[in-house]
Chain A
Amino acid sequence: MPAPIRLRELIRTIRTARTQAEEREMIQKECAAIRSSFREEDNTYRCRNVAKLLYMHMLGYPAHFGQLECLKLIASQKFTDKRIGYLGAMLLLDERQDVHLLMTNCIKNDLNHSTQYVQGLALCTLGCMGSSEMCRDLAGEVEKLLKTSNSYLRKKAALCAVHVIRKVPELMEMFLPATKNLLNEKNHGVLHTSVVLLTEMCERSPDMLAHFRKVRQLSSSQLVPQLVRILKNLIMSGYSPEHDVSGISDPFLQVRILRLLRILGRNDDDSSEAMNDILAQVATNTETSKNVGNAILYETVLTIMDIKSESGLRVLAINILGRFLLNNDKNIRYVALTSLLKTVQTDHNAVQRHRSTIVDCLKDLDVSIKRRAMELSFALVNGNNVRGMMKELLYFLDSCEPEFKADCASGIFLAAEKYAPSKRWHIDTIMRVLTTAGSYVRDDAVPNLIQLITNSVEMHAYTVQRLYKAILGDYSQQPLVQVASWCIGEYGDLLVSGQCEEEEPIQVTEDEVLDILESVLISNMSASVTRGYALTAIMKLSTRFTCTVNRIKKVVSIYGSSIDVELQQRAVEYNALFKKYDHMRPALLERMPVMEKVTTNGPTEIVQTNGETEPAVLETKPPPSGLQPASQANDLLDLLGGSDITPVIPTAPTSKPASAGGELLDLLGDLNLTGSPVSAPAPQIAQPPFLLDGLTSQPLFNDIAAGIPSITAYNKNGLKIDFTFERSNTNPSVTVITIQASNSTELDMTDFVFQAAVPKTFQLQLLSPSSSVIPAFNSGTITQVIKVLNPQKQQLRMRIKLTYNHKGSAMQDLAEVNNFPPQSWQ
Chain B
Amino acid sequence: IHFILLFSRQGKLRLQKWYTTLPDKEKKKIIREIVQIILSRNQKTSSFVDWKDLKLVYKRYASLYFCCAIEEQDNELLTLEVVHRYVELLDKYFGNVCELDIIFNFEKAYFILDEFIIGGEVQETSKKTAVKAIEDSDMLQETVEEYMNKPAF
A: residues with CB less than 8 A from B are 6-8, 11-12, 15, 44, 47-48, 51-52, 54-55, 58-60, 78-80, 83-84, 87, 90-91, 94-96, 115, 117, 120, 123-124, 127-129, 152, 155-156, 159-160, 162-163, 166, 188-189, 192-193, 196, 242-243, 245, 250-253, 255, 259, 291-292, 294-295, 298-299, 302, 330-335, 365-369
Interface residues of B in 66-125 (CB under 8 A from A): 75-78, 80-82, 85, 103-104, 106-107, 110-111, 114, 118-119, 121-125
B128 within 8 A of A: yes
Closest to A188 in B: B125
> Given the interface contacts A48-B152, A129-B21, does A192 sit within 8 Å of B125 by beta carbon?
yes
B61 within 8 A of A: no
Q: How far is the CB of B107 from chain A (nearest CB, A)?
A: 6
> Given the interface contacts A78-B144, A84-B153, A117-B137, does A295 sit within 8 Å of B107 by beta carbon?
no
> Given the interface contacts A252-B82, A255-B78, A294-B77, does A159 sit within 8 Å of B118 by beta carbon?
yes
Among candidates A12, A80, A123, residue contacting B118 with C-beta atoms closer than 8 Å: A123
Is A124's CB under 8 angstroms from B118's CB? yes
Residue among A160, A189, A299 with the highest chain B CB neighbour number at 10 A: A189
Instruction: State the CA gap A259–B78 with chains docked (Å).
Output: 12
Is B28's CB under 8 angstroms from A60's CB? yes
Contacts A189-B129, A196-B121, A331-B80 known; 10 new A-B pairs at CB < 8 A: A11-B104, A115-B140, A123-B118, A159-B119, A188-B124, A252-B122, A330-B46, A334-B76, A366-B45, A368-B49
Is A365's CB under 8 angstroms from B45's CB? yes
Among candidates B47, B104, B126, B141, residue contacting A188 with C-beta atoms closer than 8 Å: B126
Is A80's CB under 8 angstroms from B46's CB? no
Is B118's CB under 8 angstroms from A127's CB? yes
Is B140's CB under 8 angstroms from A298's CB? no
Instruction: State the CA gap A299–B75 with chains docked (Å).
Output: 7
> Given the interface contacts A51-B107, A192-B123, does A242 sit within 8 Å of B76 by beta carbon?
no
> Given the interface contacts A11-B103, A252-B81, A335-B77, does A83 sit within 8 Å of B141 by beta carbon?
yes
Closest to A161 in B: B119
* B-side contacts of A11, CB under 8 Å: 103-104
> Given the interface contacts A96-B21, A243-B125, does A163 sit within 8 Å of B119 by beta carbon?
yes
Is B75's CB under 8 angstroms from A87's CB? no
Is A295's CB under 8 angstroms from B78's CB? yes
Instruction: State the CA gap A250–B106 with chains docked (Å).
Output: 28
Chain B 21-32: CB-based contact to A (< 8 A → 1; otherwise 0):
111000010000
* A-side contacts of B15, CB under 8 Å: 58
Is B137's CB under 8 angstroms from A83's CB? yes
Is A242's CB under 8 angstroms from B129's CB? yes
Is B126's CB under 8 angstroms from A251's CB? no
B: residues with CB less than 8 A from A are 13-17, 19, 21-23, 28, 44-50, 75-78, 80-82, 85, 103-104, 106-107, 110-111, 114, 118-119, 121-129, 133, 136-137, 140-141, 144-145, 148, 151-153
Closest to B45 in A: A366
* A-side contacts of B114, CB under 8 Å: 87, 90, 124, 128
Instruction: State the CA gap A86–B111 with chains docked (Å).
Output: 10
Is B121's CB under 8 angstroms from A83's CB? no
10 residue pairs, one from A and one from B, having the closest CB atoms: A295-B77, A48-B153, A330-B46, A159-B118, A127-B119, A163-B119, A189-B124, A295-B78, A80-B152, A127-B118
* B-side contacts of A259, CB under 8 Å: 75
* B-side contacts of A7, CB under 8 Å: 107, 153
Is A243's CB under 8 angstroms from B78's CB? no
Among candidates B14, B77, B85, residue contacting A331 with C-beta atoms closer than 8 Å: B77
* B-side contacts of A128, CB under 8 Å: 19, 114, 118-119
Among candidates A188, A189, A291, A368, residue contacting B77 with C-beta atoms closer than 8 Å: A291
Listed by A's residue number, 22 A-B pairs whose Cβ atoms lie within 8 Å are A8-B104, A11-B103, A47-B152, A47-B153, A48-B152, A54-B106, A78-B144, A83-B111, A87-B107, A87-B114, A115-B140, A124-B118, A127-B119, A128-B19, A129-B21, A162-B119, A189-B124, A189-B129, A242-B127, A250-B125, A299-B78, A366-B45
* B-side contacts of A243, CB under 8 Å: 125-126
Q: How far is the CB of A126 from chain B (nearest CB, A)?
A: 9
> Given the interface contacts A245-B81, A295-B80, A330-B44, does A51 sit within 8 Å of B153 by beta carbon?
yes
* A-side contacts of B28, CB under 8 Å: 60
Closest to A196 in B: B121
Is A84's CB under 8 angstroms from B107's CB? yes
Is A58's CB under 8 angstroms from B16's CB? yes
Is A333's CB under 8 angstroms from B103's CB? no
Residue among B44, B111, B124, B133 with the highest chain A CB neighbour number at 10 A: B124
Instruction: State the CA gap A117–B104 with chains docked (Å).
Output: 23
* B-side contacts of A96, CB under 8 Å: 21, 23
* A-side contacts of B82, CB under 8 Å: 252
Closest to A15 in B: B103
Instruction: State the CA gap A127–B78 with chains docked (Å).
Output: 22
* A-side contacts of B145, CB under 8 Å: 80
Residue among A60, A78, A333 with the highest chain B CB neighbour number at 10 A: A78
* B-side contacts of A252, CB under 8 Å: 78, 81-82, 85, 122, 125
Q: How far is the CB of A748 from chain B (nearest CB, A)?
A: 41
* B-side contacts of A58, CB under 8 Å: 13-16, 106
Residue among B44, B106, B126, B148 with the highest chain A CB neighbour number at 10 A: B126
Among candidates B77, B110, B123, B140, residue contacting A193 with C-beta atoms closer than 8 Å: B123
* B-side contacts of A60, CB under 8 Å: 13, 28
Is B45's CB under 8 angstroms from A367's CB? yes
* B-side contacts of A330, CB under 8 Å: 44-47
Is A369's CB under 8 angstroms from B46's CB? yes
Is B78's CB under 8 angstroms from A334's CB? no
* B-side contacts of A367, CB under 8 Å: 45
